[in-house]
Structure 1
Amino acid sequence: MRETRDTFHLAIPARDLDEAFTFYVTGLGCKLARRYDDRITLDFFGDQVVCHLSDKIDHDVHMYPRHFGITFRERADFDRLHALAKSRDLEFFAEVGDRFAGRVEEHLTFVLKDPSNNLLEFKYYHDPRMMY
């Protein structure tokens, strides 16, 4: 069973590592853990994202089935990241929206698109029981 000290990791394609660095480190504020000729490893909000240099980039991007991101426990953290993304002119795939309005699983969400067309969704559930 995973414990809080364990880290989830995800590998994604990147057409250019300098672009990935600029988006994730300079833009989102993630920490660079390692850099090699073919990848960068990031501390992505406490978990590990590895951007692998690749020419297999999705050109016709759709939200489903492939995206990843963070679900925030605190609304203030969601709002701060949204404001940061706006102030740093990160590319939005979808602005803040309310999903499942009026239902217990109602949540706010916005989606960013990185330079390699990977989609990142950020969420905040009004009812914290709905995080999982």
Structure 2
Amino acid sequence: MRTTTDAFHLAIPARDLDEAYEFYVEGLGCKLARRYDDRITLDFFGDQVVCHLSDAWEREPELYPRHFGVTFRERDDWDRLLALVHQRKLCVFAEPSERFADKVEKHSTFVLRDPSNNLLEFKHYDDPRMMY
């Protein structure tokens, strides 16, 4: 079973590694773990994201069915990231909004678009039991 010392791994396409580095490291504040000619490996909020140099990046992204991101347990963390996004003028695909307002799974969300059109959703649920 996974523990807090394990990391989830996700590989995504990147049209340009310098652009990916700028977005993820300089923009979002992720840590660069490794860089090779064909990929960069990142500490993405405690998990591993690898941006692989590829021509197979999405030209016209849609949020569903493919996106990834972080569901924050603490609202302050979500708010801090949103402030950073505005400060660094990162590309917002979907502005902050509230979903399922009248239900127990009510949550706040916003979606970013990286330079290769990968979509990243960041969420916070009012009721932490709804995170999964």
What TM-score do the two structures reach when normalised by structure 2?
0.99
- Within 1, Cα distance between the matches of 2:106 and 2:46? 25
- Within 1, Cα distance between the matches of 2:57 and 2:130? 32
Can you give the 5+ residue segments of structure 2 that lack an aligned partner in the other structure?
Answer: none
- Within 1, Cα distance between the matches of 2:57 and 2:40? 16
| Structure 2 residue aligned with 1:61 | 61
Can you give the 5+ residue segments of structure 1 that lack an aligned partner in the other structure?
Answer: none
| Structure 2 residue aligned with 1:43 | 43
Deviation at 1:60, TM superposition (A): 1.2
- Within 2, Cα distance between the matches of 1:39 and 1:58? 17
2:87 matches 1:76: no
Matched residue SS, 2:79: helix
- Moved >2 Å (runs of 4+): none
2:18 matches 1:18: yes
How many correspondences in the alignment? 132
- Within 2, Cα distance between the matches of 1:36 and 1:68? 23
AA in 1 matched with 2:94: A
Matched residue SS, 2:49: strand
Matched residue SS, 2:24: helix
- Within 1, Cα distance between the matches of 2:10 and 2:31? 15
CA RMSD of the aligned region, Å?
0.4
State the Cα deviation string for residues 13-59 of structure 1 (Å, max 9, x = none).
Answer: 00000000000000000000000000000000000000000000111
State the Cα deviation string for residues 74-124 of structure 1 (Å, max 9, x = none).
Answer: 000000000001100100000100001110000000000000000000000
